[in-house]
Structure 1
């Protein structure tokens, strides 16, 4: 039943710890990304750029996705570990992935409108950090695949996407 607590065996617990460690290793990168984007948003050379707020929002969703997965993993070690928590792990992971794509697109939109040297330097540092984020997301996905099982994780992602997608009319 969906509301029943789930029990992990020792192998699952170890894979969950490895996933946690990877999420923990990503924290400084996420902090740096948000710091750089905040600096860009407040910089007089770039604060006027069209799409800046959308870009900042996309980056915030990346951060929320990472934080959400971390919170879910922490809760999975308690009696809160249930199917609904597993789906929440998948959903939070998808936020980080999906909004990473959006952030890169929006960054380029913002970058086209900026000419100031300090803002251009920030843009380049953000690009580098978003590239780092892509590498971390691949590592995190591999840990999620290992924990859930690749096929199970894929099915859960598909189920989650279907639950948040409006039906075709």
Structure 2
């Protein structure tokens, strides 16, 4: 609980919209797991481990994962009678981390990809690009759910 946080009440509709947002973040967990796994494999692969920017790329993917996890954690707290303005801001920030670092991840992937020539590592790059496309779809869905929740909260 945030110190000195005044708790807010959620309507039944707000709770439903927040649950929808939660469900989409839960659906995204498998995508994030695959992304982190593939990037970890790429980072350790002898054909790509030398690539300039690999650590930044790996870090950006970690931040995407943290953004999703933070959003889920905040939503869970909102359902446990901790819903406050501070928690609302925290949900928004965590949600934003996933989106912003997804953009960074794509930029850094292309930087790393230019330095890789091995066929196995290039296959990993291709698979990461595909997972990032799936992630974009999830982020778009999360954005829709977040807007629905906040729109309901402002009424």
TM-score w.r.t. length of structure 1? 0.87
Counterpart of 2:15 (choices 4, 9, 13) is 13
Higher RCO, 1 vs 2 (CA within 8 Å, ≥6 residues apart): 2
Question: What does the per-residue CA deviation read over 1:12-49, in whole Å, with 9 as the maximum and x for residues that have no partner?
Answer: 11111111110110000000000000000000000000
1:1-150 aligned within 5 A: 3-149=5-151
Number of residue pairs matched by the alignment: 151
- What are structure 2's unaligned runs of at least 5 residues? none
Return closer, same or farther for 1:15/1:150 CA change in 2, 3 Å cut-off: closer
Q: Distance in 1 between matches of 2:81 and 2:26?
A: 22
Deviation at 1:151, TM superposition (A): 10
Question: What does the per-residue CA deviation read over 1:99-140, in whole Å, with 9 as the maximum and x for residues that have no partner?
Answer: 011000000000000001110000000000111111100000
Q: Distance in 1 between matches of 2:21 and 2:71?
A: 10
CA RMSD of aligned residues (A): 1.4
Asked if 1 retains the 8 angstrom alpha-carbon contact of 2:45 and 2:121, the reply is: yes
TM-score w.r.t. length of structure 2? 0.94
Structure 1 SS opposite 2:50: coil
- What are structure 1's unaligned runs of at least 5 residues? 153-169
Moved >3 Å (runs of 4+): none
Q: Distance in 2 between matches of 1:29 and 1:149?
A: 27
Q: Distance in 1 between matches of 2:29 and 2:66?
A: 11
Structure 2 SS opposite 1:78: helix
